Amino acid sequence: MSLSSKLFAAAKQVIPGGVNSPVRAFRNVGGEPFFVRRAKGAVIEDVDGRLLIDYVGTWGPAILGHAPDVLVNVVHETAKLGLSFGIPNPWEVEMARTIVDWVPSVQKVRMCNSGTEATMSCLRLARGFTGRDRIVKFHGCYHGHVDSLLVSAGSGALTHGRPDSAGVPAALAALTTVLPYNDPEAIEAFFAASGHEVAAVIVEAIPANAGLFLPKPGYLELIRSLTTTHGALLIFDEVMTGFRVARGGYQEICGITPDLTAMGKVIGGGLPVGAFGGRADIMDLLAPDGPVYQAGTLSGNPLAMAVGLTQLRELEKAHGWQRLEETGARFEAGIRDICNEIGRPLTFNRIGSMFCLYFNEAPVWNLDDAKKGDADAFRRFFHKALELGVYFAPSPYEAGFISLAHGPLQIDDSLDICRTAIRHALG
């Protein structure tokens, strides 16, 4: 029995499902999860000594690669000054200044500890600002395990076949309206009938928790127009896309200005972090200045702030977004070449360093399209790639992530393995 199997058996005795986040359990692909001993650059090593090229990247934060020396050194130096204060520190001020400078819509920002906290706080703030209760979200968009948002969610909830969580009061779920993504007629009809009830529309800037699909031209612009007309707020969830697809997130690319933005992942450099920000008049409703309460003992933690700031500066200094686009384009071209060789036009969606290979031959624009994929083929692909040395997310409903540590050698090796794995998956 492998050491990973022994650890998983032990974990199941003391941790629900043996994991601390559901998608890690491999339920959607079968088999058992492996346990990681260490990670460096684009490679992870499991406890049994197996080396894998990693395209999960801590689910997004490891944009420089795993354990880059510059971040490890900052952890060491900052830790000498204290692990946590619960008192304002200089790093959180500099982080806030950086976010305000980089993200077009953010005039003020508050730090928290996770993407879930960020989206939860955005909803409370939107309700407090508008005096309304109704929230609108979209099928397959996952915004963390917030009660109001675990309705037709993606990510782990979708993977386990229960998009609605037990334990969410029906009365609270009733305040959330779920609409199909990329369907302009549906949202226009809803706002025509009920726009006066809506506190906010929350949307992943690029939906990346049911794989990865892109907004159709004009769709986000329509949402912005409808929310403005009806006095509702627009919340961009950029926990994944923020600081990854561009310096200012996807809103820099699309030119749309949301009222509030939820952020996380990249700004922590691998440490737990979240943030939310937006228009000053909305943010000023937060306590202690306003009546909307939000707090956190570890918010603005000095280690997370120092590491996150360093990661952002390294990205900028290294022309990171241009390099990530080039690497992503190289990987995409290789996958498309493989599909052409095999004669199967599988769907590959990508923006910058985020991607998803669907075992669908039709375009994927929304959750319904994503669910038409060949789940058995994905399982075969996943396990063959893992066997040969490449780790993708253990679910067809998750995005992949490329880092600056993925050089031409890792990409070419990965493509060779993908060629074999795709052929194996398709029989």
Does the annotation mark 142 as catalytic?
A: yes
Q: Under DSSP, is residue 177 helix (H, G, I), strand (E, B) or coil?
A: strand
From 287, 354, 385, 310, select the one nearest 68 (Cα to Cα): 310
Judge whether 237 counts as a catalytic residue: yes
Burial environment of residue 192 by CB neighbours within 10 A (0 to 12, 13 to 18, 19 or more):
exposed
- The CA R_g of the chain, rounded to the nearest whole Å, is 21
Tokens encoding 369: 């399209």
Alpha helix stretches (DSSP H) within 15-103 = 69-79, 90-102
Angle at CA 207, nearest 5°, toward 202 and 213? 140
Tell me which residue has tokens 């915004």: 143
Give the orientation angle of helix 219-229 with respect to helix 184-194, to 10 degrees.
0
Q: Which helix (H) or strand (E) holds 134?
A: strand 134-138
CA–CA dist 157, 19 (Å, integer): 14
Q: Looking at 54, 181, 259, 265, which residue is catalytic?
A: 265
The crossing angle, in degrees rounded to 10, of helices 302-317 and 320-342 is 70
Catalytic residue among 46, 54, 237, 259: 237
With a CB cutoff of 8 Å and minimum separation 6, the contacts of 6 are: none
Q: Side chain identity at 426, as an amino acid letter?
A: L
Beta pairing, strands 134-138 & 198-204: parallel
219 catalytic, yes or no?
Answer: no
Catalytic residue among 46, 55, 137, 142: 142
Give backbone dihedrals phi and psi of 424, rounded to 5 degrees, phi first.
Answer: -65, -40
Contacting residues for 45 by C-beta, under 8 A, at least 6 apart: 36, 37, 38, 39, 51, 52
Task: Report how far apart, in Å, the C-alpha atoms of 102 and of each of 95, 106, 237, 249, 271 are.
Answer: 11, 8, 16, 9, 21
- Annotated catalytic residues are 142, 237, 265
